[in-house]
A and B are shown apart, each in its own frame.
Chain A
Amino acid sequence: MTASTPLLEIAGLVVRYGAITALRSIDLAVGEGEVVSIVGPNGAGKTSLLSAVAGLVKPAQGTMTFAGRRLDLVALEDVVAHGIALVPEGRHIFASLSVMENLKLGATVRRDAGAVAADMDRFFGMFPILSERRRQPAGQLSGGEQQQLAIARALLSRPRLLMLDEPSLGLAPMIVDQIYALLRTIRAQGTTILLVEQNAERVFGVSDRVFVISGGTFGLSGSAAEIKNDPRFDAAYFGVGMHAAAGGR
């Protein structure tokens, strides 16, 4: 973690859906330029964490600060203007709109039309398939292409923090390799990334730090290398409890 003030700071975050508590007092700090990954099984609270930061769910307790500003007081549609972009689970591209229109929507909060057009050209260079299909309905793209589109759309807001929710979900291993190569490129350009994955093996190569979440709390955290080699990883991932016997992976 960087020594200066973190870009994103979460303290005592609690998220509830009715009687169900999805997150129990989460603390997390993400420094500028860092890649932080949250790994954990289904229902561990990964999506709830990103949803809270994105403004999709209102926390029951806790504070979230982004670049020195209180995030939990910001309305959903203003979050992106603060510099946070989300690539949601399932991609949520606009299937009936063209690839180009999807990208334009990514730049909704920007007023610098010239720079937006330049960014779009740059992305079309990075994603040739999107360039070829820019006039086609986005629903006609393959899963991997839709994921590329969702990432390019998020980047068009020029975020300081890019959040990705299970970018490998439902994609062939080869396509996942491409998506992760892309994340490394984005990381090299200095964008801070908060990544959520069920597939822990995937994130080690791209992350600075990894948090293991289970049952709405972090069980284990550390540098990617530490977590990868930590014998307690399985127990933390499967939520068996740190002191209990570790389950099989």
Chain B
Amino acid sequence: MERLVQILVDAVSVGSLYALTALGIGLIFGVMRLINFAHGELITIAAYTLLALFGLPLPVMLFGAAAVAILLALVTERVAFRPLRNADPTTLLISSFAVSFFLQKLLILVVGSRLKGLDFLPVLGRQIELAGIRLQLLQIVTILVSIVLLAALTWFLRATRLGLHMRAAAEDFRMARVLGVRANRVIAVAFALSGILAAAVSCLVVVQTGVVQPRMGLQLVIIAFVGTVIGGLGSLSGAAFGGFLVGAASILLQALLPPDLRAFREAFVFIAVALILLLRPQGLIPAAGLKERV
């Protein structure tokens, strides 16, 4: 029983991380029809910011990581994506690869490609006992942080004027602009929010792994991207759900597969993904108004 609960909590916690990552990708896809692979570098840069600020008070490190990720998100939007806003999605996708590679190589040039240890918030590595079951504090914190961020994002999208503009823009950007919704503002806010989500994911991953390296973000983003696709590209709840599903499934397979099959757990995850896409090509929670951008 204890083992099962531990596995489930682990699955939910890893699923939450991927949900947050997928949500960051989904936000940008919603308003720009851009699959932003450079989202991974936002995660990476936030981790290196934690490394650079290590030793300073915790709030300074957290705000620093978030600020740098937001800034980088805004700069990439301004420099790499805004000039291509009316280009077709493939051009945008290639641009996002270019940004991703450029930032990765730049990081390698500046800080080197070696892993760097970062003992961030070691207190979260402790075990705690909840209702007689021993759990890692980090997993509980990851789940709680994800719930808080999801709730905050939902509140922002549902209850604020800008949130309404973002949802309208995600469904029919042209019509939203006809009504006076400012394209630049909506897109900049989406990028800033994706920066905040990336920074949160970054902090949690760094605590979990204890290392920082230039490719850490990309690995997360590739899996999370698969999540946004099976969830339904263009649908935020779909992105979160799909990301969660992929993350949780991979942990469950790791735990439940016979030992000699565990090495192939990713293959099982992707078989499931292929099946989902065969049965529901629009994803599990399809977007309402996925139209061509003009």
> What residues of chain A have their CB less than 8 Å away from a CB belonging to chain B?
54-56, 76-81, 86, 88, 92, 94-97, 101, 104-106, 108-109, 137, 139, 153, 157
Query: Closest B-chain residue to A153, C-beta based?
Result: B179
B 167-193 contacts with A by CB, 8 A: 167-168, 171-172, 174-183
Closest chain-B Cβ to A34's Cβ sits at a distance in Å of 22
C-alpha gap A120/B210 in the complex (Å): 55
Question: How many B residues, CB 8 Å from partner?
Answer: 19
Residues of B within 8 A of A79 (CB): 178
With A94-B168, A94-B289, A96-B167 known as contacts, the answer to whether A56 contacts B176 (CB < 8 A) is no
Residues of A within 8 A of B181 (CB): 77, 105, 108
Closest chain-B Cβ to A154's Cβ sits at a distance in Å of 8
C-alpha gap A109/B172 in the complex (Å): 18
Query: Closest A-chain residue to B182, C-beta based?
Result: A77
* Interface pair A104/B164, CB less than 8 Å apart: yes
* Interface pair A96/B289, CB less than 8 Å apart: yes
* Interface pair A96/B171, CB less than 8 Å apart: yes
Answer yes or no: B128 CB below 8 A from chain A CBs: no
Mostly helix, strand, loop or mixed at chain B's interface? helix
* Interface pair A139/B178, CB less than 8 Å apart: no
C-alpha gap A79/B174 in the complex (Å): 13
* Interface pair A105/B164, CB less than 8 Å apart: yes
> What residues of chain B have their CB less than 8 Å away from a CB belonging to chain A?
164-165, 167-168, 171-172, 174-183, 287-289
Closest chain-B Cβ to A130's Cβ sits at a distance in Å of 17
C-alpha gap A109/B177 in the complex (Å): 11
A-B contact pairs, 6 of them (CB 8 A): A55-B178, A77-B177, A77-B180, A92-B178, A108-B181, A137-B288
Residues of A within 8 A of B287 (CB): 96
* Interface pair B180/A94, CB less than 8 Å apart: no
C-alpha gap A55/B180 in the complex (Å): 11
Residues of B within 8 A of A56 (CB): 174, 178
With A94-B171, A94-B172, A101-B164 known as contacts, the answer to whether A80 contacts B180 (CB < 8 A) is yes
Closest chain-B Cβ to A98's Cβ sits at a distance in Å of 10
Residues of B within 8 A of A137 (CB): 288
Closest chain-B Cβ to A164's Cβ sits at a distance in Å of 13
Closest chain-B Cβ to A200's Cβ sits at a distance in Å of 26
Q: Which of A80, A95, A106 contacts B289 (CB 8 A)?
A: A95
Closest chain-A Cβ to B206's Cβ sits at a distance in Å of 36
Closest chain-A Cβ to B8's Cβ sits at a distance in Å of 32
Query: Closest B-chain residue to A110, C-beta based?
Result: B180
* Interface pair B180/A92, CB less than 8 Å apart: no
Residues of A within 8 A of B176 (CB): 94, 105
